[in-house]
Amino acid sequence: MKKHIITLPGDGIGPEIMNSAHELLKAVGEKYNHEFTVESKDIGGIAIDKHNDPLPAETIEACESADAILLGAVGGPKWADSKIRPEQGLLKIRKQFNLFANLRPVTIFDSLEASSPLKQHVVRGSDLMIVRELTGGLYFGQPSERRDGGQSVVDTLTYTYGEIERIVRTAFDTAMSRRKHLTSVDKANVLESSRMWREIVNKVSSEYPEVTVEHELVDAAAMKLITNPSYFDVIVTENLFGDILSDEASVITGSLGVLPSASLSDKGLGLFEPIHGSAPDIAGENKANPIGMMLSVGMMLKYSFGLHEESAAIEKAVNQVLADGFKTGDLQIDRAVTLSTTEMTEKIISVL
Amino acid sequence: MKKHIITLPGDGIGPEIMNSAHELLKAVGEKYNHEFTVESKDIGGIAIDKHNDPLPAETIEACESADAILLGAVGGPKWADSKIRPEQGLLKIRKQFNLFANLRPVTIFDSLEASSPLKQHVVRGSDLMIVRELTGGLYFGQPSERRDGGQSVVDTLTYTYGEIERIVRTAFDTAMSRRKHLTSVDKANVLESSRMWREIVNKVSSEYPEVTVEHELVDAAAMKLITNPSYFDVIVTENLFGDILSDEASVITGSLGVLPSASLSDKGLGLFEPIHGSAPDIAGENKANPIGMMLSVGMMLKYSFGLHEESAAIEKAVNQVLADGFKTGDLQIDRAVTLSTTEMTEKIISVL
Ligand SMILES: CC(C)[C@H](C(=O)O)[C@@H](O)C(=O)O
Ligand SMILES: CC(C)[C@H](C(=O)O)[C@@H](O)C(=O)O
């Protein structure tokens, strides 16, 4: 297979973990006989510094002809007070390429039990996937502005029927490939958009008679994620609820650094990134955990290229290295050896 | 002291736990020489059944002349498909009486360690107060409606400068009476309302030089609440973020049934209620945990009547009864005896 991948290393630890992705792609290509070509472009803070634009036209153009996009991380204190913010690059690329379906698996590695703030019996058996709508809601609704000379302010939560329907369908399809249990999260006792969301979920559900569907209010879901995470299979929700709940859910495993994500468009284009941030405090120190990035490469192989075997091999290699007693500085594993970013990358590749 | 209290038992277990509040008020009144008169009115589902209105005019009138309001719980499956929903009674009373400041202490009882989904070393030392804005934001913003014949939908997040300023001030005052550490939670990298919120927090902070202030994004806060709850002292946030985060935070202690809340207006009127719901599954079985309600009475004594000693005595009695090995069915305490609602109420009153 021949594929062209645009990499967007971004800021902070982004470039370091993107190196891990390069190494991994080279290794997978050699082992399974694929030709992955890789081209690097700017996004985020570094793009502001170089082009005065967090998502330069050059980056957009390159992505347009890509088979998939890998992203490191954006942002950092350097741009905290700048008028244009690095995160705008991320929001713009999502909107530009219609990356409406954000998939965030919360994977439990047995060896990371000590890293979780939750008790072992609570976490046990958890395996959930959050399907977050990524291009609508309060993130992009207009107006979003000050009024009355700064005496009031307004943001707008909008969705079209079609926007809700397509993410709900993605969630049902995801549930069909898993344990067929879908939890739709909303705030239907307050928001009109949530009541429409609920109606659409109920309507689409008739096309998926095998999937058990239920509705949960966002406040109740925020509780249940912690008291009973293994209850969930697939969770589908709107953009901002998804932002909050997926970050919350990530702590279940105690290992933000190991979690990947995919953002998919209806045209088949996908952007893949670890869910952690740019970690400016450890940038350049060869300490960052490359696992979230490497598992994001795994998601790319599976979702964008249909390479299920290769993707599974990466997951298995990560599992094995952790179980063998190796970790990075952010993880807690009893008696495990702490590796650098490059060492961990090599170790995982060596057991592929 | 002479005070007139309106009680709104509401639905499900509401009436049972309101009985506990009555007993407690009688006991406190006798012991400390206060005259508490109590008058019961309808709200929620029962008010829909009786008056076709979740907040009848009669209830509003009674509350207008009250010194404080106690609320049980509203809602239940009986009204799931009704056009008027019981929760609207709650939203309306908040708006009607300008109950803009929702205070939710997350109290840790050592004896409830086994009930928490979090590891002991994570929970240890946690003691936080969430100050949630309760009468603005997406809850009340207009328009909130379907458009284009149902092809799209809109909800509106609005705040005035004054609405943000007054809740921020309440939060700073709260921090001054505690450990002087305030975390303001927003989504300033996306929402204009959050950017205004942040500016106002920064402006008001100059009046409180002793308070350490910081800003946290809502997704990061949702993580930190679980990974490091003892980090927080006072959290201030807008209505919907506060709804989600305060429910999330409540699980830290593993004991939803024991947590109280206060909703205060700028005119000094307060409404006090446990944070748990109407629990229709155990309604009428004398099984409900009365502690959240009894501690809400404690908050009323403190915040509305300035009775600090009486309030502290209730907290102390609850602590002692739990430490002595008594619990209700919702709690996990090793080797503790399970009591009914009425037994637990009597037990707490007996050690006042
Ligand atoms: C950086 C920020 C704008 C972004 C979001 O809120 O979507 C991030 O939190 C995420 O979840 O990818
Ligand atoms: C019942 C509901 C409308 C309410 C809210 O969202 O405010 C509840 O969840 C709460 O937190 O008091």
pLDDT digits (tens, 9 = 90+) for A237-284: 999 999 999 999 999 988 889 999 999 998 889 999 999 999 999 999
Q: What pLDDT is stored for residue B351 in this prediction?
A: 97
The answer to whether A331 and A294 have CB atoms below 8 angstroms apart is no
Same domain, A336 and A310: yes
pTM value surpassing 0.95: yes
Q: Evaluate whether residue B98 is within a structural domain.
A: yes
The answer to whether A106 and A130 have CB atoms below 8 angstroms apart is yes
Residues 134-173 of B with CB under 8 A from A: 138-139, 141, 144-146, 150-162
Distance, in Å, from the CA atom of A140 to the CA atom of A135, rounded to the nearest integer, reads 7
Report the run of H or E that residue A15 belongs to, with start and end. helix A14-32
Q: Is B117 on the interface with A (CB under 8 A)?
A: yes
Q: Evaluate whether residue A231 is within a structural domain.
A: yes
Partner-chain residue, chosen from B91, B158, B248, that has the shortest CB–CB distance to A226: B248
Give the rounded percent of residues in chain A with a pLDDT score beyond 90. Answer: 93
Kindly report the average pLDDT of chain B as a whole number: 96
Same domain, B60 and B75: yes
Alpha helix positions (H), B83-227? 87-96, 120-123, 161-176, 192-205, 218-227
Q: What pLDDT is stored for residue B144 in this prediction?
A: 98
Same domain, B134 and B228: yes
Q: Evaluate whether residue A112 is within a structural domain.
A: no
Q: Which residue has the higher pLDDT, A171 or B267?
A: A171
The residues facing A118 across adjacent strands are B118
- Two structure tokens written together for B251: 């699980």
Distance, in Å, from the CA atom of A322 to the CA atom of B193, rounded to the nearest integer, reads 43
- Decide if A157 and B160 are in contact by the 8 Å CB cutoff: no
Q: What pLDDT is stored for residue A6 in this prediction?
A: 98
Chain A residues in contact with B226 by the CB 8 A cut-off are: 117-118, 226, 248, 251
Q: What DSSP letter does each residue of A46-109 carry, written as one string?
A: HHHHHHSSSS-HHHHHHHHT-SEEEEEE---GGGTT-SS-THHHHHHHHHHTT--EEEEEEPPP
Give the rounded percent of residues in chain B with a pLDDT score beyond 70. Answer: 100
User: For A82-114, what is each residue's pLDDT tens digit?
Assistant: 889 999 999 999 999 999 999 999 988 888 888
The answer to whether A57 and A24 have CB atoms below 8 angstroms apart is no
Which of B68, B99, B103 shows the shortest CA–CA distance to B305? B68
Which of B242, B257, B253 shows the shortest CA–CA distance to B137? B242
Q: What pLDDT is stored for residue A82 in this prediction?
A: 85
Question: Which of A209, A229, A253 is the C-terminal boundary of a domain?
Answer: A253
Q: What pLDDT is stored for residue A137 in this prediction?
A: 98
Same domain, B154 and B54: no
Same domain, A187 and A201: yes
User: Quick one: average pLDDT of B320-343?
Assistant: 95
- A312 φ, ψ to 5°? -65, -35
**Cβ neighbours, 10 Å, residue B207:** 9
Same domain, B239 and B296: no
Active-site residue (options: B243, B303, B327, B347)? B243
Same domain, B249 and B282: no
Answer whether residue A184 shows pLDDT above 90.
yes
Task: Looking at the CA of residue A190, tell me the nearest atom of ligand 2.
Answer: 3
Answer whether residue A225 shows pLDDT above 90.
yes
User: Quick one: average pLDDT of A319-347?
Assistant: 96
User: Could you check whether the bond before residue A143 is cis, i.e. omega within 30 degrees of 0?
Assistant: yes
Number of domains present in the structure of chain B:
2
- Decide if B144 and A226 are in contact by the 8 Å CB cutoff: no
Question: CA dist A236 to A135, A183, B243, Å?
Answer: 14, 6, 19
Q: What pLDDT is stored for residue A80 in this prediction?
A: 85
Distance, in Å, from the CA atom of A221 to the CA atom of B248, rounded to the nearest integer, reads 9
Distance, in Å, from the CA atom of B269 to the CA atom of B42, rounded to the nearest integer, reads 19
Q: Evaluate whether residue B86 is within a structural domain.
A: yes
Answer whether residue B253 shows pLDDT above 90.
no
User: For B67-121, what is each residue's pLDDT tens digit?
Assistant: 999 999 999 999 988 889 999 999 999 999 999 999 999 988 888 888 899 999 9
Same domain, A247 and A268: no
The residues facing B307 across adjacent strands are none
Report the run of H or E that residue B25 belongs to, with start and end. helix B14-32
- B339 φ, ψ to 5°? -110, 160
- Decide if A191 and B87 are in contact by the 8 Å CB cutoff: no
Q: Domain span at residue A92?
A: 1-103+259-352
Query: Mapping DSSP to helix (H, G, I), strand (E, B) and coil, where does residue A133 land?
Result: strand
Same domain, A121 and A238: yes
CA nearest B144 in A: which residue? A192
User: Quick one: average pLDDT of B207-236?
Assistant: 97
Kindly report the average pLDDT of chain A as a whole number: 96
The residues facing B251 across adjacent strands are none
Same domain, A248 and A129: yes
Where do we find the tokens 């502690």? B291
CA nearest A251 in B: which residue? B223
Q: Residue B293's pLDDT band (boundaries 50, 70, 90)? A: very high
Q: What is the 3-state secondary structure (H, E, C) of B33-57?
A: CCEEEEEECCCCHHHHHHHCCCCCH
Same domain, A142 and A241: yes
Looking at the complex, report in whole angstroms how far the Cα of residue A48 sits from the nearest Cα belonging to chain B. 16
Q: Which of B147, B153, B214 to mutate to test the interface with A (most CBs of A within 10 A)?
A: B153
- Two structure tokens written together for A344: 């961990």
* Domain containing residue B83: CATH number: 3.40.718.10
User: Quick one: average pLDDT of A52-74?
Assistant: 98
Amino acid at the residue B236:
V
- Decide if B190 and A139 are in contact by the 8 Å CB cutoff: yes
Question: Which of B208, B227, B253 is the C-terminal boundary of a domain?
Answer: B253
